[in-house]
C-alpha cells in the first residue's frame, strides 16, 4: 500500500535537514490496466503499478532535482542526498521559485476506478467494427489502457495539492492492405472517461480509418505550386505545437530568438484564430490540475482574435524576463471553431493539399518549415481527388497563421484538446 503524504513529508524533511532553503516534491502512484492487440488479435493483458517521487531543492539559489521510484526510507534519503549534491554543483540563480500557498487543491476527476469488463467489451467491439466496416485495414497495434493516477504535491511554503483521476486511452497504429498494395501507416489516439459510447464514435477514429483505406493507390504529384494546405485536427495539433514551441515557449522567449518576443498585445494571426491552453476545458479529459512549480492550473488564452495574449512560460522564465507566467504548463490546446462547414471549406479551394500527417525537421528560428506530407490528398476545383504519395510542403509557421483561408464549424475532441479543420494559403507544394 502506498502512502503519498508520508513519502512527500519524508522527502521534504530530508531536503530541509540537509540544508535546502526551499524544496518541493511530487509523490505519485499510477495503476495501469492494459489490453494489447497485435495483428488483429488480443496478445496481452497486464496490470502495472508505478510509484514515483520527484524532488527539487533550492540551496543558495542553486537548483537540484532527483527522482526515485520507491517510497521506503532508504530510497527517499538517497534521492534527497542526490538532489542536494546536484544543487551544490550548480550555479546560483535567484529566478528559481516555488508556488506560495494559495488555494490548495483536493480534486477527483474522470473515472479513477476501471470497469475492465466493459473496457474489454468496447475493445472487442472496436476490433469487430473495424473488421466489418474497414476490411482492408490491418491493425498493426492497438493499445487500450485505463490509468488511475493519485498525486500529492508539497513544498516548504505550505502548498499542498492532492489529485486523483482516471481515464481510458485508445492508441491505434494501422495501415490498409489489399493484395500487393499497401498504404502508409497511420496512428490515431483518443482519451475518454466514459465507456457509454463505442470507441469508433470517439475523436477522429472513423475518419482516420476511412482515409487510410483510400490510400491504397497513391499518385505522385507532378510539378510544384503554391496553394492551400488543409490541416485536419490531428495534423493541425502538430503544427500548432511547432508554432508555440518556436514562438512562445520558455527556450525561445528566454534566449530572445522568438519573433514574438516583443509582440504581447499585438496582432500575430488572422482575427479568426483564438487558441487557448485549457486543461480545465470540458473537452479535456483529466487535464493538468497543478503546474510543475506548484501553481493551481487555470485556462488561459494564448491568442485571442488574432492578438497575442500570453506566452507559454514558466515562473522561472517569467522572473528572468519580467513577462507574465503562463497559468498552466499543459499541452491541452483548444482552438475556436470557425463559421464554415468543412464541406464548404473544401469546396472553396481551387488547388491545395489535405495534410494527413507531416514529417519534417525542427523549423528554423524564423519559423521556416519544410517536410513531407504523408497520408495526404490532392484538392482540385473544390474537391478532394487522388491520394498522394509522399509530397514536400514548405512555408513559414508565422505566416501560416496570417494566411487563413477558412476554419471549420466542426471540431474534433480527442480528450487531449479540441481543434477544428483549418485551411491556410501560401504553402508551397512540390512533387516530382
Q: Look at residues 124, 116, 216 and name the one whose alpha carbon lies nearest to residue 174.
A: 216
> Does the predicted TM-score (pTM) go above 0.85?
yes
Residue listed under C-alpha cell 543558495: 60
CA 253 to chain centre: 20
Q: Look at residues 428, 356, 420, 348 and name the one whose alpha carbon lies nearest to residue 387.
A: 356
The neighbouring-strand residues paired with 377 are 354, 387
% of the chain beyond a pLDDT of 90: 93
Q: Residue 425 and residue 350: Cα distance in Å, rounded?
A: 11
Q: Look at residues 431, 410, 414 and name the one whose alpha carbon lies nearest to residue 423.
A: 410
Q: Quick one: average pLDDT of 401-409?
A: 97
Q: Residue 317 and residue 311: Cα distance in Å, rounded?
A: 10
- Region of 412 on the Ramachandran plot (φ > 0 left; ψ -120 to 50 alpha; else beta): beta
Note the pLDDT of residue 199: 98
Could you read off the pLDDT of 335-379 as tens digits, one per residue? 999 999 999 999 999 999 999 999 887 887 888 999 999 999 999
Note the pLDDT of residue 38: 85
Q: Look at residues 87, 72, 65 and name the one whose alpha carbon lies nearest to residue 19.
A: 87
β-pairing verdict for 186-192 and 224-231? unpaired
CA 351 to chain centre: 31
Torsion of CA 381, 387, 391, 396, to 10 degrees: 50
Note the pLDDT of residue 16: 97
Whether 77 contacts 14, CB under 8 Å: yes
Residue 1 pLDDT grade (very low, low, confident, very high; cuts 50, 70, 90)? low
Cβ-based neighbour number of residue 148 at 10 Å: 19
Note the pLDDT of residue 244: 96
Name, in order, each residue with C-beta under 8 angstroms of 41's C-beta and a sequence gap of 6 or more: none
Task: Give strand ranges (E) for 3-116.
Answer: 22-38, 41-59, 62-68, 105-110
Q: Give the helix ranges, DSSP H, for 167-288.
A: 205-213, 233-247, 250-255
Q: Residue 130 and residue 111: Cα distance in Å, rounded?
A: 26
Residue 327 pLDDT grade (very low, low, confident, very high; cuts 50, 70, 90)? very high
pLDDT exceeds 90 at position 390: no
Note the pLDDT of residue 326: 97
Cell of 62: 542553486
For the chain, how big is the Rg over CA atoms in Å?
24
Could you read off the pLDDT of 56-74 as tens digits, one per residue? 999 999 999 999 999 999 9
Cβ-based neighbour number of residue 322 at 10 Å: 6
Note the pLDDT of residue 424: 98
Q: Quick one: average pLDDT of 145-173?
A: 97
Q: Look at residues 145, 183, 149, 146 and name the one whose alpha carbon lies nearest to residue 163.
A: 149
Note the pLDDT of residue 360: 83
* DSSP code at position 103: S
Name, in order, each residue with C-beta under 8 angstroms of 102's C-beta and a sequence gap of 6 or more: 159, 295, 296
What is the SS3 assignment for 63?
strand
Q: Look at residues 121, 426, 151 and name the one whose alpha carbon lies nearest to residue 290.
A: 151
What sign for the dihedral angle of Cα 10, 49, 414, 362?
A: positive
* DSSP code at position 296: B
What is the SS3 assignment for 383?
strand
Residue 39 pLDDT grade (very low, low, confident, very high; cuts 50, 70, 90)? confident
Q: Mean pLDDT score of the chain, rounded to an integer?
A: 95
What is the SS3 assignment for 340?
strand
Could you read off the pLDDT of 196-217 as tens digits, one per residue? 999 999 999 999 999 999 999 9
What is the SS3 assignment for 260?
coil
pLDDT exceeds 80 at position 2: no
- Helix count (H) and strand count (E) of the chain? 9, 21
Amino acid at each position: 500500500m502506498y502512502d503519498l503524504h508520508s513519502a512527500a513529508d519524508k522527502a521534504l524533511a530530508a531536503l530541509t535537514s540537509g540544508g535546502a532553503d526551499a524544496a518541493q516534491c511530487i509523490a505519485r502512484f499510477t495503476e495501469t490496466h492494459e489490453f494489447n492487440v497485435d495483428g488483429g488479435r488480443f496478445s496481452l493483458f497486464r496490470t502495472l503499478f508505478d510509484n514515483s517521487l520527484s524532488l527539487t531543492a533550492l540551496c543558495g539559489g542553486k537548483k537540484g532535482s532527483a527522482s526515485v521510484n520507491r517510497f521506503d526510507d532508504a530510497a527517499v534519503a538517497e534521492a534527497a542526498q542526490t538532489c542536494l549534491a546536484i544543487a551544490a554543483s550548480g550555479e546560483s540563480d535567484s529566478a528559481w521559485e516555488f508556488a506560495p500557498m494559495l488555494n490548495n487543491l483536493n480534486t477527483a476527476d474522470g473515472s479513477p476506478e476501471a470497469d475492465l469488463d466493459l473496457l474489454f467489451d468496447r475493445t472487442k467491439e472496436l476490433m469487430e467494427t473495424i473488421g466489418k466496416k474497414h476490411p482492408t485495414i490491418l491493425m498493426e497495434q492497438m493499445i487500450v489502457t485505463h490509468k488511475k493516477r493519485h498525486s500529492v504535491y508539497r513544498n516548504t511554503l505550505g502548498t499542498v495539492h492532492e489529485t486523483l483521476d482516471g481515464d481510458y486511452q485508445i492508441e491505434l497504429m494501422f495501415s490498409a492492405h489489399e493484395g500487393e498494395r499497401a498504404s502508409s501507416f497511420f496512428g490515431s489516439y483518443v482519451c475518454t472517461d466514459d465507456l457509454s459510447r463505442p470507441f469508433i464514435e470517439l475523436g477522429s477514429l472513423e475518419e482516420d480509418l476511412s482515409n487510410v483505406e483510400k490510400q491504397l493507390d497513391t499518385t505522385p504529384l507532378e510539378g510544384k505550386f503554391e496553394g492551400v494546405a488543409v490541416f485536419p485536427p490531428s495534423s493541425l495539433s502538430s503544427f500548432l505545437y511547432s508554432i508555440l514551441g518556436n514562438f512562445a515557449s520558455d527556450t525561445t522567449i528566454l534566449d530572445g530568438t522568438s519573433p514574438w518576443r516583443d509582440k504581447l498585445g499585438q496582432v500575430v494571426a488572422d482575427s479568426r484564430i483564438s487558441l487557448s491552453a485549457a486543461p480545465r476545458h470540458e473537452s479535456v479529459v483529466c487535464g493538468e490540475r497543478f503546474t510543475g512549480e506548484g501553481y493551481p492550473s487555470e485556462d488561459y488564452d494564448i491568442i485571442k482574435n488574432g492578438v497575442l495574449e500570453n506566452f507559454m512560460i514558466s515562473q522561472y522564465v517569467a522572473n528572468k524576463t519580467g513577462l507574465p507566467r503562463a497559468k498552466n504548463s499543459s499541452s491541452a490546446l483548444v482552438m475556436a471553431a470557425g463559421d464554415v462547414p468543412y464541406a464548404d471549406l473544401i469546396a472553396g479551394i481551387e488547388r491545395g493539399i489535405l495534410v494527413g500527417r507531416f514529417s519534417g525537421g525542427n523549423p528554423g528560428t524564423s519559423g521556416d518549415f519544410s517536410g513531407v506530407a504523408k497520408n495526404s490528398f490532392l484538392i482540385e476545383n473544390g474537391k478532394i481527388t487522388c491520394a498522394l504519395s509522399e509530397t514536400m510542403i514548405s512555408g513559414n509557421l508565422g505566416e501560416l497563421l496570417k494566411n487563413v483561408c477558412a476554419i471549420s464549424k466542426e471540431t474534433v475532441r480527442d480528450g487531449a484538446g479540441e481543434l477544428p479543420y483549418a485551411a491556410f494559403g501560401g504553402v508551397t507544394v512540390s512533387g516530382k
